[in-house]
């Protein structure tokens, strides 16, 4: 009887330990896909443009890269760039609280695929069509994350917002 209790206790301990270890999963795998990457400053040019590394998530490379470009422009417009080098202007172009919601129709059109936001970004080599995709993409479930290095034309973006009467 004592042996039976000892064997039964050992089996239950092993089963419980196995259950606990399986429920934990791989923490690196589960965390990497949910991590929010922040846009960071890579430098400032003499024309007032900011070179930033922005991140985007999508179902494939093309979608993720497009989202990363939008995120870079959106962060310059509404958040300002506080990560990375200290060269970038940490102040957003638009100071108004909830401006993106207030002018929702305008910004939905502005950030549409192939929208007006593309007028204000160039690649790090100055061309309109080239940009650098950051190595080391992350994948989680059916989503991939890519980073891009782009130059955001902050001065031109500010002029456009003034012309469109978003800011004064």
pLDDT tens, the chain, 168 aa long? 777 666 766 666 675 655 555 555 544 444 445 567 889 999 898 888 999 999 988 888 889 889 999 999 999 999 998 888 887 888 999 998 888 899 999 999 999 988 999 999 986 444 544 456 665 556 667 788 888 999 999 999 999 999 999 888
In a domain, 134, yes or no: yes
In a domain, 83, yes or no: yes
* DSSP annotation of 27: H
Rounded Cα distance between 54 and 18, Å, is 41
In a domain, 168, yes or no: no
What angle (nearest 5°) sits at the alpha carbon of residue 36, between those of residues 95 and 167? 15
- Note whether 75 and 68 are within 8 A (CB): no
Task: Mark whether 101 and 159 lie in a shared domain.
Answer: yes
In a domain, 98, yes or no: yes
**Structural domain containing residue 1:** 1-32
């Amino acid at each position: 009887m004592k042996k039976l209790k000892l064997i039964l206790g050992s089996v239950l301990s092993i089963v419980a330990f196995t259950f606990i270890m399986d429920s934990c999963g791989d923490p690196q795998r589960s965390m990497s896909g949910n991590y929010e990457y922040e846009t960071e400053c890579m430098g400032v040019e003499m024309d007032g443009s900011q070179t930033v590394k922005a991140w985007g998530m999508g179902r494939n490379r093309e979608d993720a890269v497009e989202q990363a470009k939008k995120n870079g422009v959106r962060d310059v417009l509404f958040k300002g760039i506080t990560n990375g080098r200290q060269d970038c202007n940490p102040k957003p172009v638009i100071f108004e609280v909830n401006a993106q919601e207030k002018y929702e129709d305008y910004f939905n059109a502005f950030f549409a695929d192939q929208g007006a936001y593309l007028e204000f970004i160039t690649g790090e080599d100055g061309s309109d069509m080239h940009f650098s995709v950051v190595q080391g993409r992350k994948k989680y479930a059916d989503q991939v994350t890519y980073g891009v290095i782009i130059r955001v034309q902050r001065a031109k973006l500010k002029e456009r917002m003034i012309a469109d009467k978003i800011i004064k």
